[in-house]
Structure 1
Amino acid sequence: MKPHRYQGSALLLALCCSAGLFLTSPVVAEESLEQRVTRMEKLLESQGLVDLYLRLEALQQEVQMLRGEVEQHGFDMKGIKQRQRDLYLDIDRRLGQLENGRPAVSPGSPAKLPESTAPTAPREQGNPATANPGTEEKAYREAFDLLKEGRYEPARNRFTDFVVRYPNSGYADNAQYWIGEINYVTRAFEQAIVEFQKVLDNYSSSQKQADALLKIGYCHYELKNFAKAREALQAVITRFPKTTPAGLAEKRLQQLKNQGQ
């Protein structure tokens, strides 16, 4: 008699159980591999997040460093712009004063100069360079117009030529002062000191004395010669009290004090 098919299946099932193959070997092996893959994926994800975090942190540090550099540059530029603004306001004030103090000269009439630009020395009779006041003023005006246009190099050349050709002119002290001012504006501070000093040495009665001495102090400040800067600025206050240059000198001395200089 042939065994029933279900009996054979039961026998096979029993053999599998006894051999430990039922729901253990294939399924457990499969689950273990899946778990290992899952753990590996989580590990890789964690490592990727760590790398991403590290890169992000490095970028943040770099941004902070760049921001600090930008702020420093901004501070430096603000200081430079403030100094330029003060300088141009000062120049504009002086140009306005000079313009208002120089009435136009009618052809054939003698030049009428304000008291502040009166000749510092008597003119030599028959000197061809000063024989024609109209020509003298025209030469000064041409240099002055170049200065107002910001054409510093041509203006410096014209003023230098003017001082050589008209050393006794009532405009000579102003011309010499503007030579120094042009050097100051173009940051040639050492040469500016030389030119401003000529105002002090050669035009003792000029009203540009206080301004020239003030700018000598400013030049020493820019060159970081702080002791000489203080000396010049204090001299402005002592020699020319209660004047605009003296007030500016006091402000710069206070600035030096605030900077620990």
Structure 2
Amino acid sequence: MMRLQPINLILAALLVSAPAVQARDGDLDQRVQRLEQLTQSRGLMEMLSRIEQLQQEVQQLRGDVEVQGHTLEQLRQRQRDLYMDVDRRLQQLESGGGAPSAVVPGAAAAGAADSDRIPVLPSRPATSGDGAEAPDPDAGVGQREQYQQALDILREGRYMQAAEAFRGFLEAHPDSAYAGNAQYWLAESFYVTRQFPQALEEFGEVVEAYPDSNKVADARLKIGFIHYEMEDWEAARRELEAVTRSYPGTTAARLAEERLLRLKREGH
């Protein structure tokens, strides 16, 4: 019986320690479960944070797309305005081409800024160097045909070829009664293709070189428009206001007033 006593003690010790071991195992399982829950919760939070960040990025992209769409529509509207303006002027020119009014070089008529009619050249120069009529009946006809050819190219929408044709006309006939109009349409060829610096220079040449031309008001209007397109708001406002003061009651003045109102609406 004495020999069995140690065994009994060992068994008793095991029985006593078993619940503690089980308790430790159970506590370990709970800790593992809590760690798993924390890990899952942290991953979920990171996922939610990432989703929120993606939503913000999508909203920002949508806003950028809307801004770009608005800017594109503004550019399209400006382009349509350019083409409509040229088309209107060419239609006026065509409607007046059947019975054009005579324009005396150096004379400026009231309201002439609205006229796109082709001036009528005499069939020959008025006088020769000694005061007699010079016998050159084909000079005026040749100028008129060359000018008309350049204008036809412009009507067809071949703007750079039209610019070359008008420039060639001006080089060949710098003192022609058509010169002011040719210079204006040369500038218009660059304007409608949005080559604004070149157009600005060419329209300025209309004002400087042909101050009595019936195209001066239109040229100054376009100078104001070009400053607007180049976002030089102060220069645009200054030139447009000058057109309204200098040419009241004309189409150029009305268009200048409309653009001034647009500047005001846009906060410039």
TM range (shorter): 0.7 to 0.9
Q: CA deviation at 1:126?
A: 5.1
Deviation by residue 1:42-69 (Cα, 9 ceiling, x = unmatched): 1121111111122112212222322232
Q: TM-score, normalised by structure 1?
A: 0.76
How many residues were matched structurally? 240
Structure 1 unmatched ranges of 5 or more: 1-11, 104-111
Does residue 221 of the first structure (1) align with residue 236 of the second (2)? no
1:77/1:123 CA distance change after superposition, 3 Å: farther
1:244 to 251, 258, 262: 251
Q: CA deviation at 1:121?
A: 9.5
Q: Which whole-Å CA distance do the structure 1 matches of 2:123 and 2:220 have between them?
A: 25
In angstroms, what is the RMSD of aligned CA positions?
3.2
Q: Does 203-212 or 231-240 show the bigger shift?
A: 203-212
Q: Which whole-Å CA distance do the structure 2 matches of 1:174 and 1:102 have between them?
A: 14
Deviation by residue 1:219-260 (Cα, 9 ceiling, x = unmatched): 222334433322321222122212221111011222233344
Aligned residue type for 2:100: L
1:123/1:25 CA distance change after superposition, 3 Å: farther
Please name the residue that 2:84 is paired with. Answer: 89
Does residue 117 of the first structure (1) align with residue 124 of the second (2)? no
Q: Which whole-Å CA distance do the structure 1 matches of 2:257 and 2:122 have between them?
A: 32
Contact 2:147 2:166 in 1 (8 A): yes
Contact 1:152 1:182 in 2 (8 A): yes
Percent identical: 44
SS in 2 for 1:39: helix
Q: Higher RCO, 1 or 2 (CA under 8 Å, sep at least 6)? A: 2
Q: Which whole-Å CA distance do the structure 2 matches of 1:194 and 1:73 have between them?
A: 31
Q: CA deviation at 1:203?
A: 3.6
The 5 Å alignment of 1:1-261 reads 19-21=15-17, 24-25=19-20, 27-103=22-98, 113-115=100-102, 116-118=117-119, 124=125, 125=134, 131=139, 133=141, 135-261=142-268
Q: Which whole-Å CA distance do the structure 1 matches of 2:206 and 2:120 have between them?
A: 13
Q: Which whole-Å CA distance do the structure 2 matches of 1:122 and 1:224 have between them?
A: 46
Contact 1:166 1:172 in 2 (8 A): yes
